[in-house]
Amino acid sequence: MPARPSDPPPASPVVAQIRGTVEARIRELQPYMTELERLQELLAALDAPDAGSGDQLAALAQLAATPAAPTPAASTDELQPLLRRGRRGTKPGRDGRAPQGANKQKIMSAILTRPGVTPVEVAEMTGLKRPVVAATMNRLRRGGELEAYGDGVRIPLVADPAGAIDDRFGGRAAR
C-alpha cells in the first residue's frame, strides 16, 4: 500500500531520540513561558492609566515579587544520551565509558539550569567526576560554547537573524 502524502516518513532512532530530547526540553521550559506571560501582563497593568493607586501598586508589587515558575531541579535524567557505538559492530560500547556526548549533555544541562555554576557544583549536580567536568568545561570555554559568568560559566547568548539583543555585546543590539 503506497504511503499517503500526509503521512510523515518513518523516523530513524536518531530522529526519535532528538524528538524526545526536544520534547523534554519544552516540558522543562514551560513554567518559564508561563512566568514570562505573567510578567508581561504585570507590565501591561503598570502601563494602564489607572495603575497609579497605592493599593493597586502594592498588589502588583506583591505579584511581581513572587515567582510563578518553580526552581528547576537538575533535569539531566530526562535527557537521553546519544548512543555510543563500539569500535566494531553495532552494540553500545562496553568499555565502561559514557556514551559519546553524554558528559557534555549533562554538563550543559546543569549550566542551563544554573548560569554561573562552577565545575565543582556541576560535578555535584551531575554525579560526574570533578576532573572530567573541569576538563570538559575548559574545552567548551576555549571553543566558545561557554563564557565566564560570575565565579563560573554560562552558555553565551547570541543574536537571532531578526536582530534581537545579544548579551555578549553589553546589551546592545547585534549588528
∠ CA 116-120-126, rounded to 5°: 90
- Give CA separation, 151 vs 64, 74, 98, 118, 154, in Å: 28, 19, 28, 7, 10
Average pLDDT by stretches of 10, the chain with 175 residues: 59 82 89 86 77 65 62 50 52 67 90 91 93 93 90 78 51 44
Q: What is the model's pLDDT at position 68?
A: 58
Q: What is the model's pLDDT at position 48?
A: 74
Q: What is the model's pLDDT at position 175?
A: 42
Q: Which residue reads 505579584 in cell numbers?
A: 63
Q: Which helix (H) or strand (E) holds 17?
A: helix 13-47
Q: What is the model's pLDDT at position 170?
A: 47
Q: What is the model's pLDDT at position 41?
A: 82
Domains of the chain, CATH where assigned: 11-72 (no CATH), 99-175 (1.10.10.10)
